[in-house]
Amino acid sequence: MDISTDIWGQLAVEASQVYLSDGTVRSPFADTTIEKLPDKVLLHIFSYLSHREICRLARICRRWRQIAYDTRLWKNVSLRPEVSGLHVGSLEMLLSLISVRFGPTLRYIELPIELITHTVLHELSAKCPNLTHMLLDFSTAMQLHDFSEMQAFPTKLRYMCICLSEVIFMEGFMRKIYNFINGLEVLHLIGTYEKCEEEEEEIYEVINVHKLKSATPNLRVINLYGINFIDDSHIDAFSSNCIQLECLAVNFCNKVTGSTLKTLIQRSKRLTCLLMNGTSLKSEFVMQAEWDKCALQELDITATDLSTECLIDMLTRIPTLKFLSAGQINGFNDSVLKQWMESGTTRSLISLDLDSSDNISDEGLLKFLQRQGHQLLACCLSGMPHITDQLWMSILPLLGNCKIVVMGTAEKLGVNIHVDQLMDTIASNCGNLERLELRWDPDNLRFSDKSQKAIDILRVKCLKLRCMVLSDGRYYETVKANFERADRITVVRTTTCCRVSPYHLLRNYNDLIFN
């Protein structure tokens, strides 16, 4: 948006010119207020606010109401109040908003179950021709609306996210939209993994994946997250029809065993990203895949039960691996690191996450990082009690190019962590750091009255730091106050509400974001 430089220049002059009058200091432009700003400047300021805040500003005056209702501020809209979206009280109000406020500028919309009706979808299709991203949340549904009369649906969708219910079958809705979604490039199906309980319950296949794959031949990114009925046959179905597939994520789909991995690799020549965190992969299936012939660059096998033999076989055969998350695997040990390094297939590695890998020794890890550390952009070595500040003092000088670092464990240790020295070492060696997390228990952190100086040095030298996560405690409060005094109020956060992940480095990271 073009902002008039004359306006900003005038404001700068007003702020700088002062004179004495009657013993007081007064600007000759002291009467200038925000009302003097042109509409396009106010519109730009409003664009940084949430829709809830914009709606509140619309009550100020007629002029601000007119600006707040400018369709350019309503390109991306969430109508799910539980995820910081707006609450729309009735279908009539939503239909009015679609016509008056959203219109052709709408690009992205999130709808809760009560607003997903054939009337609303008809209106979006007719009044929002540029709608390309849509999220439909059925997760709390106990009954679907009647879609028997639905004849239209947005046809330019490139991204669609469907939050599934545990008990509502989607076929009545899906068969009405199959003819409209063949242009989809990104598909998210979000299950109820986080709501699952310990006891076994009957599992329903609430959406027909085999029919869905036939309607979506152009998919590049598929994210099947925490769906309790997804298994290897569904992966096989998508791979048989989606020749453009670049990224497949089946995180927390615990019925996936890897039995169709060989076929997936053979069919999907463009597949560069495979995320299988929390699946039930079996070593014998994984070893059957032709890893040496694949184009894979990004791999997540966190919390799987793969053997040491399988890990060595796989990692030494993937020729261009850049990103590896392999935490919480008992079979990942020094032998895996050594043979992987000696195979030469680590030459492209830029991200390594070995969270809670208790079978890796300090010596084995140090040898690996002495050889590969200079090329890493992300290094996550959390959840390992034996890796304390002393080892990190040796590791950090090897991580000069790192943008993401995660260290520490939440369990209480028998030793103390001298965090001031750690901050000094980070500031001296990691000038490119963007995200940092220290997971150590607050009771294990030792710092002195001179901590402010160490924090100052970190803040001044790591100017790109946008996120620093600490366990809630005295040290967190100290660091947070320091950054707030420097007007960097959004940087410091707690582990209660934020976690640092190397996923930011994934090539398709923006496409993988949902909710």
Is 186 in contact with 219 (CB distance < 8 Å)? yes
Going by their DSSP bridges, the two strands 247-249 and 273-275 should be labelled as parallel
pTM assigned to the model = 0.89
Backbone angles phi, psi at 416, to 5 degrees: -100, 150
Indicate the domain borders of the chain: 373-382+396-514
Residue 225 host element (H or E): strand 221-225
Vertex 250: Cα angle to 346 and 183 (nearest 5): 105
Partners of 511 in the β-ladder: none
Structure tokens that stand for 61 in this block: 């005056």
- Cα 49 from Cα 58, distance rounded (Å): 12
Is 181 in contact with 156 (CB distance < 8 Å)? no
- Cα 215 from Cα 457, distance rounded (Å): 55
Map residue 303 onto helix, strand or coil: coil
Query: Which pLDDT score is estimated for 117?
Result: 92
> Could you report the average pLDDT of every consecutive run of 10 residues in the chain (515 residues)?
52 54 56 79 89 87 88 90 84 89 91 93 94 93 86 94 90 92 95 59 83 94 95 94 94 95 95 96 96 95 96 96 96 96 95 95 94 96 92 94 95 89 94 95 88 92 94 93 92 93 95 87
Backbone angles phi, psi at 97, to 5 degrees: -60, -40
H-type helices in 207-255, by residue range? 209-215, 232-241
CB contact set of 31 (below 8 Å; sequence gap of 6+): none
Where are any strands of DSSP class E within 247-341? 247-249, 273-275, 298-300, 323-325
